[in-house]
Amino acid sequence: MPRAILAAFANRLVMPDLRWMPDDGLTPSRLRIELLSGLTVALALVPEAVAFAFVAGVHPLVGLYAAFLVGLITALFGGRPGMISGATGALAVVMVALVAQHGVEYLFATVVLMGILQMFAGIMQWGKFIRLVPHPVMLGFVNGLAIVIFLAQMGQFKVPGSMQNTGHGMSGGEWLSGTPLYMMLGLVGLTMAIIWVMPRVTRIIPAPLAGIGIVAGLVIAMGLDVPRVGDLASIQGGLPAFHIPMVPLTWETFEIILPYSVILAAIGLIESLLTLNLVGEITGKRGGASQECIAQGIANTVTGFFGGMGGCAMIGQSMINVKSGGRTRVAGIAAAVFLLIFILFAAPVIELIPLAALVGVMFMVVIGTFAWNSLTILRKVPLTDAFVILLVTVVTVMEDLAVAVVVGVIVSALAYAWSNARRISAHTRESATDKGAKVYEIRGPLFFGSSDGFAELFDIDGDPDTVIVDFAESRVVDQSALQAIEAIAQKYETAGKRIKLRHLSRDCHSLLKKAGHLMVDSDDDPDYALAVDYSVRTGILGGH
């Protein structure tokens, strides 16, 4: 492993990147905003962590410990201040079968291996490949995720205690009806109204926190009989204890946990890196992808040894944090610490909070997350992009985020390849320097998709004895392109004719000369360099 990468990894462990702090520093005003934002996020984390623990078929504290540990470690070492991580539904649905077949100890071992794989991805700097995700895929991702968050709240409109754990997650349950339903809807609407109005009145308290506090106070003061956090499960517990997963250290165990670890690591990184980009667009920050991979890996490895179910970035809670004013690592750290305080000391109070208030907060997150402008641009963007937006949205809802993103990237890549494959063309003329020679000026990229079209451009039988192929307006991209050039050269050689290539890069020269068939006109083939290097050499930059 390169020594530089190891050094960078060690530096990030010892000294986390604390940049992207506000220009005015961590003033008392900023600290207040960060702490209140963290408190709001912690309140929203509780029902989510409990619900996802139920989905995975484990004890609620397993989800809460994951939310605390993953949230704290990623807040300290993550690639983007403002992001919130914890137990997520995207990971929970993958864990269901593992827990049902092998038990929770295998889950802990899987989470440890998942974290190791994520750290490896970060050390190898694979996080940078998230740049390959096109914008239509991002739009479909946020739209699908908004719908998923909305649908996840529907479980709160069922009678507490009526849902059954079938070993494949929580299912069934009776829907609220009559007065309980109307009260639930009314409180949800009241929470949303408070969140909408509060910023217009004052920004001293984050709007989501005000919504939760006012509605909770109203319900408690009036003694309203509505579903509360305590109806889901008790969140009372102690400090997470170090625990080595009790699984046999055998090859068979490795074969069981490896497939789940790979899937969980991939899903966790994809969701985290896409959330990182989304938060970056809102806060105007960039970078940190590889650092986020390492932080997620450390968090999950530690969580597996402390009885947690693992996790990744949570777009809903991240949006709550950002919209509440959280911009530094303090908010994420505060959210994790407040969550631990809830577990250790404040469980009786937190369990009194009505679920309607938290549902109202998440509904506002849905409204803020959904890319409403995508509905208007569907008719304006190319048909392929519109199809990708809808496809990723549907697959996100029907399957999961990782599958949706992979499908979207593949479809976008194929569409791009097909579009470029049709751009290959040639302009022919007589050579001004080689008497009697014919010049083919190739235009458009030459790669695997356009290699067949490239071969059809030439009239081998009708061409003169000397042919010049000029690539000044083209670019040779891959091995398929080189093979296509070699094939054409072979055909001209077989026909007893001479072919020259111009404006090819030196790496193409080297490969083509090894084929032994080409007469390369190197006098007209300059080395290709970065534009900035060329500008410096010629004095274009700096006014020289």
CA atoms within 13 A on the CB side of 497: 22
Span 445-463, pLDDT tens digits: 888 899 889 999 999 999 9
Distance from C-alpha of 448 to C-alpha of 63, rounded to nearest angstrom: 48
Instruction: Give the least confident one: 121-125, 176-180, 453-457, 472-476.
Output: 472-476
Tell me the two tokens of residue 122: 């970060």
Q: Which residue has the tokens 């709001």?
A: 40
Helix-helix angle 355-369:207-222, to 10 degrees: 160
CATH number at 425-538: 3.30.750.24
Catalogue the E-assigned strands of 33-162.
85-86
Distance from C-alpha of 56 to C-alpha of 367, rounded to nearest angstrom: 27
Specify burial of residue 544 (Cβ count, 10 A radius: 0-12, 13-18, 19+): exposed
Span 93-149, pLDDT tens digits: 889 889 999 999 999 999 999 999 999 999 999 988 888 888 899 899 889 988 988
Span 49-87, pLDDT tens digits: 988 888 888 999 999 999 999 999 999 999 888 899 999
Domain edges within the chain: 27-154+175-227+256-377, 425-538
Whether residue 520 has pLDDT greater than 80: no
Q: What are phi and psi of 304, to 5 degrees?
A: -60, -30
Tell me the two tokens of residue 388: 């990708």
